[in-house]
Amino acid sequence: MAEPLLPELDSYTWQKPLYRETFLQLLRTMISKEELQKQIPFAFGETHFPKLGEKYRGKVRDVYSHGGQLILITTDRVSAFDRILTTMPFKGQVLNELAAFWFEKLKGIIANHIIDVPDANVMVVRKVEIVPIEIVVRGYLTGSAWRDYSGGRTISGIRLPPGMRKDQHFPQPLVTPSTKSQHGHDMPISAEQIIEQGTVSRQLMEKIEKTALALYKKGVEVCAKHGLILVDTKYEFGLAGNDLVLADEVHTPDSSRFWYADTYQKLFEEGNDQRMIDKEYLRQWLIREKNFIGDGPLPDIPDEIRIEFARRYIEAIEQITGKPFTAKVGEVLPRIEQNLKKRGYL
């Protein structure tokens, strides 16, 4: 990853609006909309490195099995409603760099699977036995949780009180697991159902829930220092022997929702949508403009939406880390190949 061009602001300075906005304005000039437009032809959705080993194609990452390791190459693919839709400029780099940032921040809570980050789009990780459930921690009633609540007030087996409003803050975060589907939609499931089905033991489930809440608490604290709300997020865990390990990605715009803290209360009281810098922007556009929620032919996504989506992801990484996002317009795969060769993976 590139060295920051500007120093990270301390939390005291970050709280001063003038300093924060001036700093962020400088950051936002780093990657212009014109550069994002130029990068669209180079946004890549596939990799071909057979020498890395057997390949598995996920929604966003190409995963190569390499001995006792996995090499995760984060592409620019974009998925929504469990469908791969298109590519977005620099998306893979944003996700990979932000995941690496968070893994480092959270390693005091739980060990993670990272071994090396040889390229801005690549993460080398140890193989672990993935726990076949996704753990979503929710601090607010929004997204699919709001849709489930509107249809019956129950979310992953948790019965909520009547009269709650969209985007309302929960007194305590909710842990809402879901099934982990290779194809099709992930489905909500309760912790008790997971235990009854024998997917994991009660002891392990309790440990997973406790760890997920600790990770979410830390994420909330870090984001709050940078003027953001970590609304909800998804975690995936693995087992290395008997040890629980944090895997996949963590606190990225693909796996989390982020809102701006300074306008949350006003927008909530008015019943208006929150200011968001995550994938929800694209989901809402697909629903509103294309009437698309995952079924039927893939919709065409114009360049202006792809650029705005990319801009928001770049804004997210800059806001969260307090550092500029730096990237060069041009082909990405030759750089990845060169860096993998330098580290001896190719």
The residue range of the domain holding 179 is 130-270
Burial of residue 219 (number of CB atoms within 10 Å: 0-12, 13-18, 19+): buried
28-71: per-residue pLDDT in tens? Answer: 546 789 999 999 999 999 999 999 999 999 999 999 998 889 99
Per the domain annotation, does 100 fall within a domain? no
Per the domain annotation, does 212 fall within a domain? yes
Per the domain annotation, does 146 fall within a domain? yes
Is 248 within 8 Å of 128 (Cβ atoms)? no
Per the domain annotation, does 175 fall within a domain? yes
Is 40 within 8 Å of 331 (Cβ atoms)? no
Structure confidence at residue 187 (pLDDT): 76
How many domains, the chain?
A: 1
196-253: per-residue pLDDT in tens? Answer: 999 999 999 999 999 999 999 999 999 999 999 999 999 999 999 999 999 999 999 9
Identify the residue whose tokens are 């989901």: 283
Structure confidence at residue 5 (pLDDT): 39
* Angle value at C-alpha 278, between 230 and 220, nearest 5 degrees: 10
Provide the 3-class DSSP secondary structure of residue 334: helix
Per the domain annotation, does 224 fall within a domain? yes
Measuring CA to CA, which residue among 103, 142, 94, 100 is closest to residue 315? 94
Residues of the chain with pLDDT under 70: 1-30, 181-186
- Between CA 274 and CA 167 the distance in angstroms is 8
Structure confidence at residue 150 (pLDDT): 85
Provide the 3-class DSSP secondary structure of residue 231: strand
- pTM of the entire predicted model: 0.87
Structure confidence at residue 30 (pLDDT): 61
Helix axes 202-225, 91-106, angle to 10 degrees: 110
Per the domain annotation, does 245 fall within a domain? yes
Question: How far is C-alpha 23 from the chain's CA centre?
Answer: 24
Domain containing residue 205: CATH number: 3.30.470.20
